[in-house]
Chains A and B, each alone.
Chain A
Amino acid sequence: MTRNMNRLYLALAIIFALVYLFPLYWMYVTAIKSGSEIFSYPPTFVPTDPQWGVFAHVWEIRDMGRFIWNSLVIATGTMVLVATLGTGCAYVLARYRNGWINLALFLVLMLQVLPASLMVTPLFVGFSALGLLDYPRFAVILAVTAKAMPFFVILVRATFMAVPAELEEAALVDGNSRIGAFWSVVLPLARNGVLVSAILIFMQAFGEFVYSKSIIQDVSLQPASVGLNAFMGPNTVEWNNIMAYASIYVTPILAAFVLLQQRIVAGLTSGALK
């Protein structure tokens, strides 16, 4: 490819990316506009009088610290549970090939596709029978874990497939037990893939909505997604504040994503569809 062609393509790519990411820009820009500027027509694409205090203001009036904390609790709990259960499962599914493994894989793939909004009815009724609704965040963690684990298993399995079996065999010959070989040889080699997949699960659980909305009735235990939903009444005019809320909520995720972008994309492309 010639140099000029390269530049032309790069310029086009940047334009495409800017158009595609415009909604994100619009969210941040609306957040810092004043309450009257958001309703000016034609809309201003660069705010004339940026209101930087809006973030602290919204954080205060919507009690966002509590919402974000609940999101963190749910996301961390889900990530830990998914990684603990899913890593070993992915390892075994990657290590062997036989009818039983195929059956287990098929089961995992099928359970991946059940929509949360359809599964929430039986889960809610079941949890209420078990008394789990008294611990709503824990109930949500269980539900989200069941939803997210298959995806994690598929991604991490691809990572384990890339670890040469000879290394593990050598460790066994050297006198390691199965647990020892798994823990000190296989797992360290697959660490990156496991970490990236776990972070993806964290992001997914951090934004989870259906289960939290249906299962957690107590406002003080609800995560930020439910808080944002409650903030958006049907006739709201506070769009700058709502966008400020959304910005605060999404910025940590975006920052983590931009930092880890290449690894996430590599992890997705090796596991999701190969």
Chain B
Amino acid sequence: MRRIKSSIVDGVGFDLLLVGIPLVFLILFSGLPLLYNVLMSFQEVDLFSLGDVFRPFVGLDNYRALLAQPEFWPIMWNTVIFVTCSIGGQFLLGFALAVFFNTGFRGSTFIRGLFLVSWVMPGLVVGATWNWILAGDFGVLNYILDSLGLISKNIFWRSDIDYSLWAVVITNIWLGTAFNMILLSVGLAGIPKDLYEAASLDGATAFQQFWTITVPMMRSTTGAVICLGLIFTLQQFDLFAAITSGGPANSSNVAQYWAWELSFRQYDFARGAAISTIMIAFVMIASVFYVRSTRHEVRG
């Protein structure tokens, strides 16, 4: 007993304790639910058997039922559009801003930091604000687009099935641009300055320098940022809840919102678990790429 105690105060036990308790916590509240989710997706779950672990096993029935629902493929397609367009927009805007702020004029650090307020705001507040900006008749976005001559009649962003998904995409791009910019700034700051000096001595224009130095040197950062973007975009839920609720007629529904709807609106926990399992598999694959792209971090 005393040996164990002294090991905790002054030996390996100290390290094991420090790292062990959090890992057990994570496994209990993250790892086990993950496995439980997979198990549940193969079971028949109703409100009366919610508390049980062992329920009737139904094999792939939940998955089959999901695939047979007419909204399955449209929602999957929406998810693909939402993810690619959000990441594309966030990355391009973030990259442009990062390059701009990397010129290092006085005040650049402070102003760049201000952009991050979009990232610390509660998702529901962002969603509510954009919900109002995107309003059809009185929305300020329509007014601005109209004043610029870009549209001739008001777009009903939230209630037109052709635009509802884009309402959320625009908001999500706004939300994520700042974070992308900060992460890309780190990568830009890591490019040795003498590369640019050497290139300009050789007579390379700013444009050439960008394509032959900046872009190739940013390759690993870009990979990591895009993987992170994929992970964060697939986590986006609050904006859907605050702007369109997945509607109208599922036109802006995506997998992560649908999974929640199935479980907590239709109380079909088995199907909710099935779609969650499919999506978690995708996220896991993305995160393996992410971990690989940051492996110098992981291995030190």
A residues sitting closer than 8 Å to B (CB atoms) are 1, 5-6, 9-10, 12-14, 16-17, 20-21, 23-24, 26-27, 30, 38-43, 85-86, 88-89, 91-93, 95-97, 102, 104-126, 128-129, 142-143, 145-147, 149-150, 153, 177-179, 182, 200, 203, 206-210, 213-214, 224-225, 228-229, 232, 234, 239, 242-243, 246, 249-250, 253-254, 257-258, 261-262, 264-265, 268-269, 272-274
Contact = CB atoms under 8 A, between A and B. Distances in A.
Contacts of A40: 138
Nearest to B116: A265
Given A179-B9, A207-B125, A24 B117 contact: yes
B110 interface: yes
B100 A13 contact: yes
B150 interface: no
A150 B14 CA distance: 20
A115 B115 contact: no
Interface stretch (B22-30, B56-64, B191-199): B22-30
Interface stretch (B65-73, B160-168, B200-208, B275-283): B275-283
B122 interface: yes
Nearest to B291: A109
Contacts of B298: 102, 105-106, 109
B235 A116 contact: yes
Given A177-B9, A246-B129, A273-B225, A91 B138 contact: no
Interface residues of B, number: 111
Contact of B132 (A17, A30, A86): A30
A41 B264 CA distance: 39
Contacts of B31: 107, 111
A12 B100 contact: yes
A257 B120 contact: yes
23 contacts: A10-B105, A17-B115, A41-B143, A42-B147, A95-B15, A114-B30, A114-B280, A116-B237, A121-B37, A121-B273, A122-B37, A122-B40, A129-B53, A179-B10, A207-B124, A232-B131, A242-B132, A243-B128, A246-B125, A253-B120, A258-B117, A273-B186, A274-B186
A79 B8 CA distance: 25
Contacts of B89: none
Contacts of B185: 269
Nearest to B240: A117
A211 to B, nearest CB: 10
B122 A207 contact: yes
List 8 tightest A-B contacts by C-beta distance, closest first.
Answer: A207-B122, A88-B18, A146-B29, A122-B37, A122-B33, A118-B276, A89-B22, A9-B105
Contact of B143 (A42, A104, A257): A42
Interface string B159-186: 0000000000000001001100011011
Interface string B107-139: 111111111111011111110111111010110
B131 to A, nearest CB: 7
B75 interface: no
B290 interface: yes
Interface of B: 8-11, 14-15, 17-19, 21-23, 25-26, 28-34, 36-37, 40, 45, 50-53, 97, 100-101, 103-118, 120-126, 128-133, 135, 137-138, 140, 143, 147, 174, 177-178, 182-183, 185-187, 221, 224-225, 228, 231, 234-235, 237-238, 241-242, 245, 256-257, 259-260, 263-264, 269, 272-273, 275-276, 279-280, 283-284, 286-287, 290-291, 294, 297-300
Say whether chain A's binding surface is mostly helix, strand, loop, or mixed. Answer: helix
B259 A117 contact: yes
Contacts of B115: 17, 20-21
B78 to A, nearest CB: 15
A243 B283 CA distance: 34
Contacts, number: 316
A147 B11 CA distance: 30
B105 A150 contact: no
Contacts of A146: 25-26, 28-30
A121 B52 contact: no
A20 to B, nearest CB: 6
A268 to B, nearest CB: 6
B122 to A, nearest CB: 3
A84 to B, nearest CB: 9
A88 B22 contact: yes
A86 B130 CA distance: 35
A227 B277 CA distance: 30
Contacts of A177: 9-10
B116 A149 contact: no
B113 A118 contact: no
Contact of A214 (B22, B178, B264, B280): B264
Given A13-B108, A178-B14, A179-B10, A232 B287 contact: no
A224 B128 CA distance: 13
B18 to A, nearest CB: 3
B279 A118 contact: yes
A117 B257 contact: yes
B256 to A, nearest CB: 5
A92 B19 contact: yes
Contacts of A6: 105-106
